[in-house]
Amino acid sequence: MTELVFKGKEFVWNHHLAVPFRPLVVQADKGIGEPRLDGNLIIQGDNLHALKALLPMYSGKVDCIFIDPPYNTGEEDWSYNDNVNAPMIKEWLNSNPIGIEDGLRHDKWCAMMWPRLRLLHELLSDDGSIWITLDDNEVHRARAILDEIFGEDCSIGQIVWQKRTSRENRAVFSPSFDHVLVYSKALKDTWKLRRNRLLPKEGGYANPDNDPRGPWASIPFSAQGFRENQVYTIVTPTGVEHRPPKGRCWGATEPEFEKYKERNLVYWPKGGNGKPRIKQFPEEAKGLVPMTLWPAAEVGTTEDSKKVLMDIFSDYQEDQLRFHAPKPVDLVRRVIEIATRKNSVVLDSFSGTGTTGHAVIAANKWDGGNRRFILCEMEDYADRLTAERVRRVINGYAFTGTQKTELAREKLNWRTIEKAADLVHKVQAIENLHGHEYDRIKKEVKDGELVVTGEKAVAERAEGLGGTFTYCTLGDPVELDRILTGVDLPAFEALGPVLYHMATAEVADPAVLYAADFYLGEASAYIVWMIYKPDLDWLKTSDAALTLSFARHIHGLRPDKKHLVFAPARHVSQRMLDSEGLGVEFAPLPQSLYRVERG
């Protein structure tokens, strides 16, 4: 494998290991709903530190990562500010904004991305995937980095997204697309098998005959080729006789077709005169394999996303929304459709305007899912823009105009014109299914495509989609050697996940971090406890020590499991614990060097 070499690589190779753990500090007044670290999260702070803070609770638990890092065009105001402790490169790894005249800007971009991608790799689940949007400036270097970290065989594909439809006459070539790199921890063929699902088929479902099984679509009852036992005459309910189309045969033998009729799975178009079609219910649809070309008509453009942002923040001044090419919600929703299940965790560590959070909420609203998002943003607009967008999407926002939702898009060619009746039936099915949700269903032909759109007039306020999230900042680093001095005593919920993760190589459950009785959680090998309070005087007392009575107590709770107890000191020997068969092991905290008062 060809290796990418860039200045500073040897210094950032394992830099992610030197980044200290910092606890997530809940800012309850900035979120929506009951604060919880196992729900939707928005984290304000350097994303390198935020990713490290997530490791004890989310390592190997994230199913989909979507990031839109700096494209490094030389016109973006981003800075390299990682605290890499290497005097040889501090001179050029500085916090000055990186511009087009910076001869090392590509090296700095690689040095910035490397440790972040290492941490993202750790957070990703075994069959999860990472999706990265880039342009031509760094896409080739990004592929080389990803090949090293994930492995060449874990490259799933490279997608072309049409980001704009207007022409840029000032450019040498008018840029019309960006790249989306897709990698996974799993090999390509394995990821294909574990992939959530194919894209939903175009067209809506309806129930014109009030089938008790619910809405359905129809597919042609014919197949390519010639099979003698599948060539016969079919008579419609109105007496019209049909033979298979030329060069084709029916989709099943005549006895099988009769079974379809008995099960009420046959639909006769054209008022009962047309060739038979077979009912297909949503759960039976195989769907469509995603293509590597994603047109603007399907997933939106950067101009579309700017308009959405302006609608949501209609009370903001234009200079408050000066963002270069925010990503469309439909683009991220397409990724979510392919890469997630209904209970997946979706992470965006370059969250910007909060599109990923918006897309996750919209996807849950659409299919009843319970996906969770984690957004990281270091800039000062994390609260007033990133989180505020999510608040407005959840609660609704002031808006006057027409909300439009695309319901179907069909390319018009000779084949669709020949089967115009089928196309009309598809549109009618959409109207039957969604007509009550909108003021009108608009049908228009545009650029060779039939577009069906639901339109609803909004007088004063756009309806919220519902949901909750917790807003966090990053606390002071948890540095175990500094705890020895008693100067830095982190909170129980800050120190606990770090020790749990270090001791078990497993993730802590955020839901139990506020539990009583010093309980940290249950790992595969141990139930883990930590006798600790962030109080130096208390840590010096006998209450902070592992005692025989405490060991007997926790053994009695779960005698079938071993117990690991972190504590500053102990008042019982390991020999006595073993002699009673309690299955309790002691792990000293740094505070064990303190003098413990025996009362």
Cα(361)–Cα(366) distance, integer angstroms: 9
Q: Locate 240 and state its tokens.
A: 């019209």
Write out the two tokens for 551: 């060991």
Locate tokens 């790249």: which residue? 179
Higher pLDDT, 86 or 308: 308
Per-residue confidence (pLDDT) for residue 399, from 0 to 100: 72
Pairing state between β 396-398 and 222-224? unpaired
Q: DSSP strand E in 185-334: where?
A: 217-220, 222-224, 234-235, 241-242, 248-250, 266-267, 277-280, 293-294
**Domain-wise residue ranges, the chain:** 9-196+291-399, 217-280, 402-462, 478-593
pLDDT digits (tens, 9 = 90+) for 373-423: 999 999 889 999 999 999 999 999 887 667 777 787 777 877 777 777 878
Closest CA to 557 of 588, 598, 587, 516: 516
Nearest-angstrom CA–CA distance, 550 and 556:
10
Q: What is the pLDDT of residue 87?
A: 65
| Most confident of the following: 126-130, 295-299, 479-483 | 126-130
If one compares 416 and 181, the residue with the highest pLDDT of the two is 181
* DSSP three-state, residue 110: helix
Residue 595 is predicted with a pLDDT of 38
pLDDT score recorded for residue 353: 92
Q: Model-level pTM?
A: 0.74
Beta bridge partners of residue 563, listed in sequence order: 527, 584
Burial class of residue 201, CB neighbours in 10 A (0-12, 13-18, 19+):
middle
Give the DSSP letter string of 115-145.
HHHHHHHHHEEEEEEEEEEE-TTTHHHHHHH
Residue of 218, 239, 340, 345 lying closest to 284 (CA atoms) = 218
Q: At what angle do helices 355-367 and 388-395 cross, to 10 degrees?
A: 20
Which helix (H) or strand (E) covers residue 361, if one does? helix 355-367
Both structure tokens of 274: 């047309």
pLDDT digits 0-9 by tens, 192-231: 766 655 665 555 577 888 888 888 878 788 887 778 888 9
Of 361-375, 473-487, 554-568, the least confident: 473-487
Distance CA(539)–CA(545), nearest Å, equals 8
Mean pLDDT calculated for residue range 91-104 = 75
> Counting beta carbons within 10 angstroms of the beta carbon of residue 42, is it exposed (0 to 12), middle (13 to 18) or buried (19 or more)?
buried
Per-residue pLDDT band at 39 (split at 50, 70, 90)? very high
**pLDDT confidence bin for 593, thresholds 50/70/90:** very low
pLDDT of 556 reads 92
CATH fold for the domain made of 9-196+291-399: Rossmann fold (3.40.50)
What confidence tier does 64 reach under pLDDT thresholds 50, 70, 90? very high
| E strand map for 378-446 | 396-398, 401-411, 440-446
Q: What angle do CA 133, 139, 142 make, to 5 degrees?
A: 95
Residue 123 has what pLDDT?
96
